[in-house]
Amino acid sequence: MADDNVDDVKEEVPEIAPFDPTKKKKKKKVVIQETEDDSVDKVPEKTESLSASDGLEIPFAGLKKKKKKQVETSFLNEESAEAGGEVDDHADEDGEGEEAGQQQQRYPWDGTERDYTYEELLGRVFNILRENNPELAGDRRRTVMRPPQVLREGTKKTVFANFMDLCKSMHRQADHVMAFLLAEMGTSGSLDGQQRLVVKGRFAPKNFEGILRRYINEYVICLGCKSPDTILSKENRLFFLRCEKCGSGRSVAPIKAGFVARVGRRNTGT
Dihedral sign, CA of 123, 127, 128, 133? positive
Going by C-alpha positions, the residue among 217, 214, 213, 212 that lies closest to residue 250 is: 217
Asked if residues 131 and 106 have their Cβ atoms less than 8 Å apart, the reply is no
Using rule CB under 8 A, residue 230 touches another protein:
no
| Region of 39-47, 74-82, 165-173, 183-191 interacting with another protein (CB under 8 A) | 183-191
- Residue 46: name the closest of 72, 19, 11 by CA: 72
Half-sphere exposure of 26 (CA within 13 A, CB side): 9
Confirm or reject binding of residue 184 to another protein (CB under 8 A). Answer: yes
- Tell me the C-alpha to C-alpha distance, in Å, between residue 80 and each of 40, 57, 76, 145, 164: 19, 20, 7, 60, 67
- Coil vs helix vs strand at 150: strand
Q: Residue 182 to residues 55, 104, 146, 176, 200: CA-CA distances in angstroms? A: 76, 56, 20, 10, 9
With binding defined as CB under 8 A, does residue 264 bind another protein? yes
Which residue stretch of 61-69, 90-98, 161-169, 258-266 sits at the interface with another protein (rule: CB under 8 A)? Answer: 258-266
Residue from 167, 185, 220, 221 touching another protein (CB under 8 A): that is 185
**Residue 219 CB, nearest approach to another protein (Å):** 15
From 56-64, 125-133, 160-168, 257-265, give the range in contact with another protein by CB under 8 A: 257-265
- Under the binding rule (CB under 8 A), the answer on residue 147 touching another protein is no
Judged by CB under 8 A, does residue 187 bind another protein? yes
Using CB under 8 A as the binding rule, whether residue 221 contacts another protein is answered as no
Which range touches another protein (CB under 8 A), out of 100-108, 134-142, 170-178, 208-216? 208-216
Count of C-beta atoms within a 10 Å radius of residue 130 = 14
**CB of 264: closest distance to another protein in angstroms?**
4
Q: Interacting stretch for another protein, rule CB under 8 A, among 21-29, 54-62, 67-75, 178-186?
A: 178-186
Query: What percent of the residues of the chain are helix, what percent strand, and what percent coil, each to the nearest 5?
Result: 60, 10, 30
Among 223, 238, 245, 248, binds another protein (CB under 8 A): 238
Determine, following the binding rule CB under 8 A, whether residue 251 of this chain makes contact with another protein: yes
Q: Residue 9: in which H helix or E strand, if any? A: helix 2-19
Under the binding rule (CB under 8 A), the answer on residue 215 touching another protein is: no
267 lines the binding site for another protein (CB under 8 A) = yes
Say if strands 238-243 and 230-235 run parallel, antiparallel, or are unpaired. Answer: antiparallel
Is residue 222 involved in binding another protein (CB under 8 A)? no
Q: Which is nearer to another protein, 53 or 180 (CB)?
A: 180
